[in-house]
Amino acid sequence: MVIDCSLLQSTNVLQLSQMAKYYHPSEIEPKWQKKWQAAKLYQAVDFDKKRKKQYLLVEFPYPSGEGLHLGHAFTFSLMDVLARQKRMLGFNVLQPMGWDAFGLPTENYALKTGIHPAEVTKKNTRRFRQQMETLALSYDWGREINTSDPQYYQWTQWIFLQLFKQGLAYKAEIPVGWCPSCRIVLANEEIVNGHCERCGTEAKRKEQSQWLLRITKYANRLADELDLVDYPDSVKAAQRNWIGRSEGISLKFQLADSKLQIKEIEVFTTRVDTIFGVTAVVVAPEHPLVIELLKKSKSAEIKKYIEQAKKKSELERMELVKEKTGVFTGLYCLNPVNNKKIPVWVGDYVVATYGGGAVMVVPAHDYRDYDFAKRYGLEIREVVSGGKIDKEAFVDYGKLVNSGQFNGLSSEKAIKKISDWLVKKKLGQKTVAYKLRDWIFSRQHYWGEPIPIINCSKCGLVPVPEKDLPVELPYIKRYKPTTTGESPLALIKEWVNVACPKCGGPAKRETDTMPNWAGSNWYYLRYLDSQNNQELASKKKIDYWMPVDLYLGGAEHTTLHLLYSRFWHKFLNDIGVVPDKEPYYSRRQHGMILGEDGEKMSKSRGNTINPDKIIKKFGADALRLYLLFMGPYEQTMSWSTQGLEGCWRFLNRVWRLAKENVKKQKTPSDLLIKLHQTIKKVTNDLEEMKFNTAVAAMMEFINEWSNGFLNPKEAELFVKILAPFTPYLAEELWCEVLGQKFSVHQQDWPKYDGKLVKEEMATIIIQVNGKLRGEIEVKSATAKKQVEELAQKEANVTKYLKGKKIKKVIFVPGRIINFVTA
Ligand SMILES: [Zn+2]
Ligand SMILES: [Zn+2]
């Protein structure tokens, strides 16, 4: 899109001669902000065939009353530099913004201040948007979304209905975490050390009917299809670990002379090679055996232990527990491989939902089982040789000993043989277990999307007909959570009581609302077609823009938001709404900015940095530049006022040089070479998101510029590469100093002159399985993949690789490439 220069050249433009001697961002910035807005400079164009599309997405904020914080300014600036540069590189860039507006913090804030959540949201989003505009973030505001807008959440509800119709949304009575103070159900991740994450009150457990989403049905695909996307390895590993798939076997341990109804305990293990080393079986406190036992036994010890366990969340019990604890039940069971009598314990590190709620204890071959055995005096029986079990557990694979007919087998072989033997004897069954749980999808508070279901005493759970969507959240004055644990919506009789859509009889609306993750699950699709009232987004637009090319966000969303939204996307793919299996082609995660004292920023510590104040004093450009310059974006960094001031001084120097060191004469060749080297460096660095080194290169350049003069044509090149970083100053220099008509943000990204920038060459040694097989000459900056291809084309290398499968390629840039074959 090219805009008319008249839009940018208003009548009150400052003339060169009138330009201030000193750099005054407060005069420059508001002026350009208004002009860019009027010109709609950052609109993305649907179906543009001339340019390649580029969908750049940054996690949308929750519009809190605090306003935009420094972390937002940091993340948004990073992405904005890329968006601006990609536009200059000729891409059709979509960079949208919106509001993740439902959720408890708004509701709590509203309760505290007496202002309705809808009003709070309106006020906060206005402020956020204004702050973003001040920061020169180049969003296409025509696509703004708000998850609490009925026009938006009717489609969140629509997706829920599709899930319900496919049997992927269901209701069940489950034990849930409960905060007596916030009066809401807490998800596992919202319980920290047994306390409510928000208010710190001790969390309770209770049985309650809840909506759940069957994310477990997608567990395999969520793990496997990570191979299709470009995420950091740590993110992929964290997701796979969260899903926690393990293949193993479920075995039955018969109870020995028990008078109970329950006759056997099912145990899941991935290490059946250690089965002869089992010296206890531990069941979860929720295990039916324990429930039956408690009815009969009067053991105060067991009762007390179970009361304690109930207060902890599953996550705490599985992941965070440092020491395994337990109580002996007085019962024994029989090891299915040799009928040896084994004591049965109850322990809270076992959870009911994983692997059947019971595990076998093999102290000799598991670290925590080893400690457990030491603490409670259980036998430690070695069955896999290779370690020193008198000192510690041996957890690796080895050769089987003390294992009857399986002695002498390797662990790998034994796992297969023992499994087969157990299956044949009908004592076991091969099973895949997951740590991932179905997702608790209901909350009992006001400020969320109503679940579009009607409860009819005759028909059961009836979906609200799609034509009746959205089920609007009623505007009420009393949205305080109830003491019964029901949603406050349950109190609004005229809203709750409806006719059943199926039989017409009297029925009641579901009063639970969705969790705050619901709206953010699919928001990247709504940006594509935010005004559409017929469907969540038109198929044509989805086809054009999806998948998201780059998704930038925080590490705290690795396992929840990122996983949940991948789940919904796969479901939408299954029902034909989206063409791709994955929503985000590539994901990068930014680091965190600490206070000047190196500590996490917090009000109580008094070390927060308010972006508004910084902008007022130094301008938005200086803040942006400093945030980009602080260090590698994915690291944790401390704020430095000195560093900020350094960036501000740099901008002052650029200002002065553009005014004083530009002359209509030939640029000296040294300076010209330095300029082209800088263009090259900034271009390559942005490709790799090395924002800080790109800024450093420009700083280095102006040191040389201050010793000489640039021709206006060359000054333009520098202003262009500066433009994505400090959009206001660049525009001012472009239009007012260099006298250009169109916006600098609509210019082409400059190309460096290869003749001026001598390419450094390197000789790469080529090895096959560590033996020298050739060498090639390449530009030092050549990427691994390209070197790999070139090296494989060398005749001698081709010969040695012929018919072999390459297992691994080791590459030392500028020096060596080694092909390891299978
Ligand atoms: Zn609470
Ligand atoms: Zn009915």
| pLDDT of amino acid 548 | 98
Q: Which ligand is nearest to the CA of 199?
A: 1
| pLDDT of amino acid 20 | 55
Tokens for 607? 């070390």
Q: Which ligand is nearest to the CA of 445?
A: 1
Asked if pLDDT for residue 349 goes beyond 70, the answer is yes
Ligand 2 centroid–CA 510 distance in Å is: 14
Q: Which amino acid is at 457?
A: S
Q: How far apart are CA 680 and CA 286, in angstroms?
A: 63
Q: Are 72 and 139 in contact (CB under 8 A)?
A: no
For residue 261, the cross-strand partners are: none
| pLDDT of amino acid 313 | 64
Phi/psi for 194 (5° steps) reads: 80, 5
| pLDDT of amino acid 711 | 97
pLDDT in tens, 380-424: 999 999 889 889 999 999 999 999 999 999 999 999 999 999 999
- Dihedral in degrees, nearest 10, Cα atoms 528, 531, 534, 537: 10
| pLDDT of amino acid 91 | 97
Ligand 2 centroid–CA 367 distance in Å is: 56
Q: Which residues surround ligand 2, an ion (CB under 5 A)?
A: 456, 458-459, 500, 502-503
DSSP-derived secondary structure letter, 186: E
pLDDT in tens, 311-330: 776 666 665 566 778 999 98
Asked if pLDDT for residue 117 goes beyond 50, the answer is yes
Upstream peptide bond of 474 is cis (omega within 30 degrees of 0): no
For residue 247, the cross-strand partners are: 432
Least confident of 23-32, 34-43, 476-485, 700-709: 476-485
Tokens for 644? 């900020």
| pLDDT of amino acid 196 | 85
Ligand 1 centroid–CA 102 distance in Å is: 17
CA 767 to chain centre: 39
Q: Which ligand is nearest to the CA of 105?
A: 1
For residue 205, the cross-strand partners are: 177
Report how far apart, in Å, the C-alpha atoms of 728 and of each of 58, 79, 447 are. Answer: 22, 17, 39
Ligand 2 centroid–CA 496 distance in Å is: 15
Ligand 1 centroid–CA 114 distance in Å is: 19
Ligand 2 centroid–CA 457 distance in Å is: 7
Ligand 1 centroid–CA 244 distance in Å is: 29
> Strand 806-812 relative to strand 816-821: parallel, antiparallel, unpaired?
antiparallel
Asked if pLDDT for residue 17 goes beyond 70, the answer is no
Percent of the chain with pLDDT over 70: 95
Percent helix / strand / coil, the chain, rounded to 5: 40, 20, 40
| pLDDT of amino acid 481 | 77
pLDDT in tens, 451-484: 999 999 999 999 999 999 999 999 988 888 777 7
Helix (H, G, I), strand (E, B) or coil at 479: coil
Q: Are 284 and 352 in contact (CB under 8 A)?
A: yes
Ligand 2 centroid–CA 552 distance in Å is: 46
pLDDT in tens, 333-342: 999 999 999 9
Helix (H, G, I), strand (E, B) or coil at 217: helix
Report how far apart, in Å, the C-alpha atoms of 197 and of each of 167, 187, 219 are. Answer: 31, 10, 27
Q: Which ligand is nearest to the CA of 192?
A: 1
pLDDT in tens, 508-530: 999 999 988 899 999 999 999 99
Q: Which ligand is nearest to the CA of 202?
A: 1
| pLDDT of amino acid 485 | 75
Mean pLDDT of the chain: 91
Ligand 2 centroid–CA 455 distance in Å is: 8
Residues in the chain, overall count: 822
Ligand 2 centroid–CA 503 distance in Å is: 4
Tokens for 142? 């025509």
Asked if pLDDT for residue 198 goes beyond 80, the answer is no
Q: Which ligand is nearest to the CA of 456?
A: 2
| pLDDT of amino acid 189 | 64
| pLDDT of amino acid 317 | 67
Torsion over CA: 16, 21, 23, 25 (sign): negative
Percent of the chain with pLDDT over 90: 71
Strands in 497-499's sheet, in edge-to-edge order, are 460-463, 453-456, 506-509, 497-499
Ligand 1 centroid–CA 413 distance in Å is: 51
Asked if pLDDT for residue 16 goes beyond 60, the answer is no
Q: How far apart are CA 189 and CA 192, in angstroms?
A: 7
Q: Which ligand is nearest to the CA of 201?
A: 1
Greatest mean pLDDT among 302-306, 345-349, 612-616 = 612-616
| pLDDT of amino acid 316 | 65
CA 648 to chain centre: 33
Q: What is the DSSP string of 656-725?
A: HHHHHSB-SSPPPHHHHHHHHHHHHHHHHHHHTT-HHHHHHHHHHHHHHHTTS-B-HHHHHHHHHHHTTT
Task: Categorize the per-residue pLDDT at 298 as very low, low, confident or very high, splitting at 50, 70 and 90.
Answer: low
Alpha helical stretches, state H, 89-138: 104-113, 117-134
Task: Categorize the per-residue pLDDT at 184 as very low, low, confident or very high, splitting at 50, 70 and 90.
Answer: confident
Tokens for 20? 């201030």
Asked if pLDDT for residue 2 goes beyond 70, the answer is no
What would the mean pLDDT of 141-148 be, rounded to a whole number?
97
Asked if pLDDT for residue 267 goes beyond 60, the answer is yes
Q: Which ligand is nearest to the CA of 204?
A: 1
pLDDT in tens, 375-389: 999 999 999 998 898
Asked if pLDDT for residue 647 goes beyond 60, the answer is yes
Q: How far apart are CA 491 and CA 496, in angstroms?
A: 8
Ligand 2 centroid–CA 458 distance in Å is: 5
> Strand 280-283 relative to strand 341-346: parallel, antiparallel, unpaired?
parallel
| pLDDT of amino acid 784 | 86
Q: How far apart are CA 681 and CA 378, in angstroms?
A: 64
